[in-house]
Structure 1
Amino acid sequence: MFSLGLEQGGEGWRWRRRLWAGEENLLEELRALLLDVSLLPNVSDRWLWLPDPSGGYAVRGAYDLLTEGANPLIEDALDLVWHHQVPLKVSIFAWRLLRDRLPTKANLAARGVLNSEATLCDTRCGHVETAEHLFLFCPNSVLLWQQVRNWLGSMGVDPNNLPDHLVQFTYLIGVGKAKRSFLQLIWIMCTWIVWNKRNNRLLNNVVTDVMSPVFQKWVFSL
């Protein structure tokens, strides 16, 4: 694929058949992961121990990693991403989001894929594109959550981190099982839409405003 060309529309992206909708979504995620990656033909690959990139792998380091105490709040939130009405790939996306494992610009810069100068949110709001910014604080996302709250008839202040946000949102209108299930579904699908909307802006130069009838139909038809 590298020799054929990985740029948008390059020969490396041509397939023998037309891709299904789900495959198109996976392809967009792959393109996001490969965004601004420069492959160097004369440089060899090497193994890297992510918990300690400078010191490398050590049994003691692996033991400490495995025995670290889990964050109960994150664990509670992770339990909420698995929903029987949500496709598995979307639940995996939500799991990666709460673990901060999505290829946001800030994460790509931390991995050395992007320069620090290229980490600003593509909505031109002037902030670095972290997961919290993209899904909670970016003006488009703030407006989206306001619209959803108005639709649900609920008022409140949103937390400033994603696990807190999911847990609080799930209990907005009561503690009944059916209500929780409904709000889980809304939160997961809203974040999925935000991510796909971001990828369309970044990779396909397609901009969909949260105030547009089409975008509102996506959200409020869930």
Structure 2
Amino acid sequence: MGEWVEGIWEWKLEWVRELRERDLFHVNELLSLIDNVSLTPGKIDGWKWKASPNSSFSVNSAYKVMCRDSRSKTQSNKGLEFQYIWKAAAPHKAKFSAWRILKDRMATCENLIRRQVSIPNAESICVFCRSQQEDTNHLFFICQRTSEAWYDILSWLGLQAVLPSSAKDHFLAFTSLGNKRDTKLLRNVWICMVWCI
């Protein structure tokens, strides 16, 4: 990582693989960012969470930051899906998965390729239908297998609908199918369903 040379910290970054030409821009950008960091010999490095007065991380403070960001970016109903997710009575890991789906942050093949992770073409297709490129919307809502599961759930709940293919629209449409009393139940069903997929 680096070492002290005559009282000055010198970065010595080692890479797991040999850098490609396109990586050099990012390396230079990283170096320009960390060159401005001043380190003090003998002082222990640590993390600070700026969203909390005592600089320590808590889930509560992270939730408040997300809600504040969600409120500041949105007027009316835009962004409320995130508040609905976090207030749902579902397991935390299911809510986290649902949040990642709505933000398009799942490790689907399309997202991995966008992040420049090398995936062979044969492995970039949907794990369920083996016929389409795997992206968040396809994997969780459009694929024949998963869309059949959604319509089975609707049938089980005694509901009928044509559901949208984008994650946010799907969530909002699915959770607004019943009456107001059923909305919380439908949110929990949606969250648990995407978690199971």
Q: Same fold (TM over 0.5)?
A: yes
What percent identity do the matched residue pairs reach? 26
Confirm or deny that 1:108 pairs with 2:105.
Answer: no
The answer for the alignment partner of 2:127 in structure 1 is: 122
Q: How many residues align?
A: 140
The answer for the alignment partner of 1:193 in structure 2 is: 196
The answer for the alignment partner of 2:103 in structure 1 is: 99
Question: Which one of 80, 90, 93 corresponds to residue 89 of structure 1?
Answer: 93
**Alpha-carbon distance between aligned partners in 1 of 2:111 and 2:76, rounded to the nearest angstrom:** 24
* Higher-RCO chain (CA-CA 8 Å, sequence separation at least 6): 1
| TM-score (normalised: structure 2) | 0.61
Farther-moved stretch of structure 1 (183-192 vs 91-100): 91-100
Given that residues 137 and 165 in structure 2 are in contact (C-alpha distance below 8 angstroms), is that contact kept between their aligned partners in structure 1?
yes
**Alpha-carbon distance between aligned partners in 1 of 2:88 and 2:74, rounded to the nearest angstrom:** 25
Given that residues 175 and 187 in structure 2 are in contact (C-alpha distance below 8 angstroms), is that contact kept between their aligned partners in structure 1?
yes
Q: How does 1:1-222 map to 2 (within 5 A)?
A: 40-43=16-19, 48=26, 70=74, 75-115=79-119, 117=121, 118-176=123-181, 179-194=182-197
Given that residues 85 and 99 in structure 2 are in contact (C-alpha distance below 8 angstroms), is that contact kept between their aligned partners in structure 1?
yes
Displacement of 1:122: 1.7
| TM-score (normalised: structure 1) | 0.54
Sort the Cα spacing of 1:81 and 1:120 in 2 relative to 1 into closer, same or farther, 3 A. same
Amino acid at match of 2:130: C
Displacement of 1:69: 5.3
Sort the Cα spacing of 1:73 and 1:116 in 2 relative to 1 into closer, same or farther, 3 A. farther
Given that residues 125 and 138 in structure 1 are in contact (C-alpha distance below 8 angstroms), is that contact kept between their aligned partners in structure 2?
no
Displacement of 1:115: 3.5
The answer for the alignment partner of 1:27 in structure 2 is: none
Structure 1 regions of 5+ residues with no counterpart?
1-38, 58-65, 195-222
Q: Give deviations 1:100-158, integer Å, cap 9, x for gaps.
A: 01111110011111347232112243101110000101111111011011111111110
**Alpha-carbon distance between aligned partners in 1 of 2:166 and 2:119, rounded to the nearest angstrom:** 25
> Which is richer in strand?
2
Q: Could you say what secondary structure the match of 2:117 adopts?
A: coil
Sort the Cα spacing of 1:97 and 1:48 in 2 relative to 1 into closer, same or farther, 3 A. farther
Sort the Cα spacing of 1:116 and 1:41 in 2 relative to 1 into closer, same or farther, 3 A. closer
**Rg comparison, structure with higher value:** 2
RMSD, aligned α-carbons = 3.3
Amino acid at match of 1:187: W
Amino acid at match of 1:189: C
Sort the Cα spacing of 1:84 and 1:164 in 2 relative to 1 into closer, same or farther, 3 A. closer
**Alpha-carbon distance between aligned partners in 2 of 1:99 and 1:161, rounded to the nearest angstrom:** 11
